[in-house]
Amino acid sequence: QTGMFTYDPGFTSTASCDSALTYIDGDEGVLLHRGYPIGQLAEHSSFMEVAHLLLNGELPSKDELDTFTYTISRHTMLHEQLAQFYRGFRRDAHPMAIMCGVVGALSAFYHDSTDITDPTHRLIASHRLIAKMPTIAAMAYKYSIGQPFLYPQNDLSYTGNFLRMTFGVPAEPYEVNPIVERALDRIFILHADHEQNASTSTVRLAGSSGANPFACIAAGIACLWGPAHGGANEAALNMLREIGTPDKIPHYIDRAKNKNDPFRLMGFGHRVYKNYDPRATVMQKTVREVLGELGVTDPIFDVALQLEEMALKDEYFVEKKLFPNVDFYSGVILSAIGFPTTMFTALFALARTVGWVAQWNEMISDPAQKIGRPRQLYTGPAEREYVAVGER
């Protein structure tokens, strides 16, 4: 049950819990959301549908989807005073720093959705978080480039609304590009949830103490920012740009294998997948489609493809079962759409908010739920007597 901790000498102690949301088979490269394969959801579903599926357990009917989407759209605006909060940041603040701050601050504004014992509060908080993350992320981007904030326009889709708030300007009409909208919506689906990864475990552990949902999601954002986790998408594209041309790839593969060199291939490897990350498969396919449909060629994509090909032929990577993960190709598409690398992890957080919120709800609504309390193997000194400073 939730809160049960296991200790395996092969790993640091990990929280383990029951969950019905997402199933991963790392050896077979399988990822299911409530039983549906990620490849089918990415191909046929939408991010709002997947959000409904993760939150409610079933794919929605047309009416249920319309109601859910309308409900989410009622919460897309941000309290006007929170816009002032942005103005306290330096212009060069990383969007993840802003998102950590602003999402945590939501609990200072939305008091009618912070009582975790009240199912209505929990439902409203869940909808608010999912609805406001695009607005918060878009405002972080606008603030960083000195452009005015755009208010949400709720006749657009969830993803189309985000694209307009990010790339639109008050002076001109903004036309959502359906190719970009579809690709970004698929990227959001691929990032929605992923079992008990570090940031989701952070949200669950924070939530297990009874902290309000906004504070818990802010904790998840902080954890996701790390380059070993969600920060890898930004690091992976920066790495591909640093490699620059295919002839440099062997040098970087050698560096990644050198134990005296801290360099790792960003976007490669995974704690659970010891086979291909099924999300990376969809992501690579989407890169080809989007670059083709947009008529864009990006030499970085060729570097990524050749890096993958050479790494997967190298016995080090084969032996250690290191494959591309969800972060390896995502940056190529996000860059082609026009996002700066500093926004990549913010987009990951935007999408993963659906999973965090669904996991938090699953935990907090379990009557047997108890506060998480990891234990340790003590490796310090045995008990000893105090020594006065003059005798030390």
> Which amino acids are annotated catalytic?
270, 327
* Binding-site member from 73, 107, 157, 325 for ligand SDX (CB under 6 A): 325
* Binding-site member from 79, 182, 229, 285 for ligand SDX (CB under 6 A): 229
Show the tokens assigned to 294: 């947009």
Q: Does 33 bind ligand SDX (CB under 6 A)?
A: no
Question: Do 117 and 212 form a contact (C-beta atoms < 8 A)?
Answer: no
**Closest by Cα among 84, 69, 221, 218 to 152:** 69
* Binding-site member from 45, 197, 286, 345 for ligand SDX (CB under 6 A): 197
Which strands sit side by side in the sheet containing 22-25, from one edge to the other?
Answer: 22-25, 30-33, 36-37
Q: Which residue is nearest to ligand SDX (CB)?
A: 269
Q: Does 274 bind ligand SDX (CB under 6 A)?
A: no
Angle between helices 62-73 and 158-167 (to 10 degrees): 30
Cα–Cα distance for residue pair 55/22, rounded to 1 Å: 11
Cα–Cα distance for residue pair 321/315, rounded to 1 Å: 9
At its nearest, how many Å lie between ligand SDX and the CB of residue 166?
22
Which listed range, 160-168, 227-235, 298-306, 370-378, lies at the site for ligand SDX (CB under 6 A)? 227-235
Q: Does 322 bind ligand SDX (CB under 6 A)?
A: yes
Residue 375 buriedness (CB in 10 A; 0-12 / 13-18 / 19+):
exposed
Count of beta carbons in the 10 Å neighbourhood of residue 371: 11
Residue 370 buriedness (CB in 10 A; 0-12 / 13-18 / 19+):
exposed
Task: Please state the separation of Cα 142 from the chain's center in Å.
Answer: 20
Using the minimum distance from each CB to ligand SDX, give the nearer residue, 169 or 228. Answer: 228
Q: Does 326 bind ligand SDX (CB under 6 A)?
A: yes
Coil, strand or helix at 288: helix
Neighbouring-strand partners of residue 148? none
Using the minimum distance from each CB to ligand SDX, give the nearer residue, 322 or 343. Answer: 322
Q: Total binding residues for ligand SDX by CB under 6 A?
A: 21
Using the minimum distance from each CB to ligand SDX, give the nearer residue, 79 or 264. Answer: 264
Binding mask 241-270 for ligand SDX (x = CB under 6 A): ---------------x-------xxxxxxx
Using the minimum distance from each CB to ligand SDX, give the nearer residue, 302 or 314. Answer: 314
Using the minimum distance from each CB to ligand SDX, give the nearer residue, 266 or 282. Answer: 266
The residues binding ligand SDX (CB under 6 A) are 194, 197, 228-230, 232, 256, 264-272, 320, 322, 325-327
